[in-house]
């Protein structure tokens, strides 16, 4: 696909490379599928690019018998409405796999303002659903309400939280952690930036460098987040993980300047997953890193910002997910 179009896509969507992206034109033909998408659908770009998604996945139909759209991307191209954070169960006709995904759609317009492309982003959430079944439903609902509250103020943080939760769960399983730790890893990923609720929107979305004063305000979010979470029964360890997710292995982080193994293990994991997702996402102040560049940065910072052993496991895990790295 034309590099300029890809750059325009990256400029409108805030999902990182962890999420699968599928781009269609006005005729519902696929013009781009990123690597995460191909991994998710166990397909190759040549199998989907140039194909009409209606024929590929939906037997040529836009709507089912009840008049419901067959999928968010089809709906967006047909109606011109963007969709955010919709849980969808997607079926791949080729491989007969059903995957629960969190989907967002975006519209790209041409110079005259007409719809040119529609982009769908997909994050697999099957494992989230399994974990959620193990949790107390009242606490879970409280947590989800918090997440919604952040999402309303700051779309980036909401998407980022889900992507970080995905990376945390996958990494925890890759490292053979216990089911209990996988659950904590998930929760910590979802709620880690909840303290940003106390940060003014003009600072969260500021393009360019933050002043020292603004940075001091941002730096309060791990402690604020842990104070909010402390109100919920049963979140004791998660509270502590969130409190320390901006500590650095070399002791130069915040809020307490803890170093090495004094930092909770899951906080050390979280700081890597958080940084990786932030680097590979488009932010208002810079273009996204490629997966390869982000991995190189994790390697460069291993032993300084990040735990060297967890960094090594993370890089192995990402290499298993993305062939190109």
Binding span for Fe ion by CB under 5 A among 98-106, 187-195, 227-235, 302-310: 187-195
The nearest distance, CB 259 to Fe ion, in angstroms, is 19
Q: Which is nearer to Fe ion, 170 or 193 (CB)?
A: 193
The nearest distance, CB 269 to Fe ion, in angstroms, is 14
Q: Among candidates 38, 4, 72, 16, which has minimal Cα distance to 321?
A: 38
The nearest distance, CB 274 to Fe ion, in angstroms, is 6
Q: Which is nearer to Fe ion, 232 or 278 (CB)?
A: 278
Q: Which residues contact 79 (CB under 8 A, 6 or more apart)?
A: none
Give yes or no for residue 193 binding Fe ion (CB under 5 A): yes
Considering only residues 237 to 266 of the shown chain, the ones binding Fe ion according to CB under 5 A are: none
Report the distance separating Cα 35 and Cα 108, nearest Å.
Answer: 20
Dihedral, 181, 227, 150, 204 alpha carbons, nearest 10: -110
The sign of the torsion formed by the CA atoms of 267, 271, 272, 274 equals positive
Q: Which residue is nearest to Fe ion (CB)?
A: 193
Q: Which is nearer to Fe ion, 75 or 193 (CB)?
A: 193
Report the distance separating Cα 123 and Cα 19, nearest Å.
Answer: 5
Contact call for residues 24 and 117 (beta carbons, < 8 A): yes
Binding track over 139-178 against Fe ion, x by CB under 5 A = ----------------------------------------
Report the distance separating Cα 47 and Cα 60, nearest Å.
Answer: 17
Report the distance separating Cα 313 and Cα 77, nearest Å.
Answer: 40
The nearest distance, CB 225 to Fe ion, in angstroms, is 8
The nearest distance, CB 125 to Fe ion, in angstroms, is 21
Report the distance separating Cα 313 and Cα 300, nearest Å.
Answer: 14
Q: Which is nearer to Fe ion, 193 or 277 (CB)?
A: 193
Size of the site for Fe ion (CB under 5 A): 1
Q: Among candidates 191, 197, 242, which has minimal Cα distance to 218?
A: 197
Binding span for Fe ion by CB under 5 A among 158-166, 185-193, 281-289, 298-306: 185-193
Q: Which is nearer to Fe ion, 193 or 247 (CB)?
A: 193
Q: Which is nearer to Fe ion, 181 or 277 (CB)?
A: 277
The nearest distance, CB 196 to Fe ion, in angstroms, is 7
Is the omega angle on the peptide bond into residue 60 within 30 degrees of 0, that is, cis? no
Q: Which is nearer to Fe ion, 181 or 193 (CB)?
A: 193
The nearest distance, CB 209 to Fe ion, in angstroms, is 18
Place of tokens 């300029």: 4
Binding span for Fe ion by CB under 5 A among 17-25, 28-36, 61-69, 190-198: 190-198
The sheet with strand 97-109 has its strands ordered as 30-33, 20-25, 115-124, 97-109, 86-92
Place of tokens 């790295």: 325
The nearest distance, CB 177 to Fe ion, in angstroms, is 21
Q: Which is nearer to Fe ion, 75 or 154 (CB)?
A: 154
Where on the chain is the footprint of Fe ion (CB under 5 A)?
193
């Amino acid at each position: 696909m034309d590099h300029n179009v890809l750059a325009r896509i990256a400029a409108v969507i805030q999902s990182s490379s962890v999420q699968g992206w599928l781009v269609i034109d006005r005729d519902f033909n696929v013009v781009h599928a990123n690597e995460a998408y191909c991994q998710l659908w166990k397909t190759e770009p040549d199998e989907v690019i140039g194909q009409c998604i209606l024929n590929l996945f939906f037997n040529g139909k836009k709507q089912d018998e009840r008049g419901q759209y067959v999928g968010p991307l089809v709906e967006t191209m047909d109606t011109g409405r963007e969709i955010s954070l919709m849980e969808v169960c997607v079926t791949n006709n080729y491989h007969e796999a059903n995957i629960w995904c969190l989907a967002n759609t975006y519209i790209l317009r041409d110079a005259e303002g007409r719809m040119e492309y529609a982009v769908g982003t997909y994050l697999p959430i099957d494992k989230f659903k399994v974990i959620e079944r193990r949790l107390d439903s009242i606490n879970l609902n409280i947590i989800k309400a918090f997440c919604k509250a952040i999402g309303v103020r700051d779309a980036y943080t909401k998407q980022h939280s889900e992507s970080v939760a995905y990376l945390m769960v996958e990494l925890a399983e890759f490292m053979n952690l216990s089911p209990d730790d996988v659950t904590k890893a998930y929760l910590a990923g979802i709620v880690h930036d909840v303290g940003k609720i106390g940060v003014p929107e003009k600072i969260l979305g500021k393009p360019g460098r933050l002043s020292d004063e603004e940075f001091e305000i941002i730096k309060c979010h791990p402690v604020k987040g842990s104070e909010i979470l402390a109100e919920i029964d049963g979140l004791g360890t998660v509270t502590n993980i969130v409190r320390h997710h901006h500590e650095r292995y070399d002791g130069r982080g915040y809020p307490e300047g803890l170093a090495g193994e004094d930092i909770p293990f899951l906080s050390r994991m979280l700081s890597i997953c958080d940084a990786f997702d932030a680097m590979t996402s488009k932010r208002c102040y810079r273009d996204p890193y490629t997966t390869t560049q982000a991995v190189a940065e994790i390697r460069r910072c291993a032993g300084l910002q990040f735990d060297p052993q967890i960094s090594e496991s993370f890089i192995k895990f990402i290499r298993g997910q993305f062939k190109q790295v």
